[in-house]
Amino acid sequence: MAQDDCLFCKIAKGEVPAEIVRESERTVAFRDINPQAPTHVLVIPRDHYPNAAEAAAADAGLLDEIVREAHEVAAEEGVVDLGYRLVFNTGSGAGQTVFHLHGHVLGGRGMEWPPG
């Protein structure tokens, strides 16, 4: 179900523009407006879940699809060989600012560990 005041629900419905790179029946992938790496794409479900854990608890199979789509995005962007990072920030203390589940696909440069 969509949530009226949710930015990513609006992107999924085409009500807010975004540079969409890939779509599946249940997911949409689009470029982050403030990229933190040469490839920075967000993969979201069309349905509204606040975070990955709530989606996993409520919707078996959805997270698998997001991970598969994230990998397809990475392949299309040519960042699989170098390696890419798939991040689900959960909670404001971890940096989550949009409370509609999204996986960040980050690639195209070396990544440090631990993350900041």
Q: Is 49 in the site for ligand 5GP (CB under 6 A)?
A: no
Calpha distance 82→29 (Å, rounded)? 21
Question: Which residues, at least 6 apart from 41, have a Cβ–Cβ distance to it below 8 Å?
Answer: 21, 22, 29, 30, 31, 32, 70, 73, 77, 104, 105
Q: Is 98 in the site for ligand 5GP (CB under 6 A)?
A: yes
Tokens linked to 26: 């249940």
Active site residue 102: yes
Stretch that binds ligand 5GP, among 45-53, 61-69, 94-102, 108-116 (CB under 6 A): 94-102
Rounded least distance, CB 42 to Zn ion, Å: 12
Q: Is 9 in the site for ligand 5GP (CB under 6 A)?
A: no
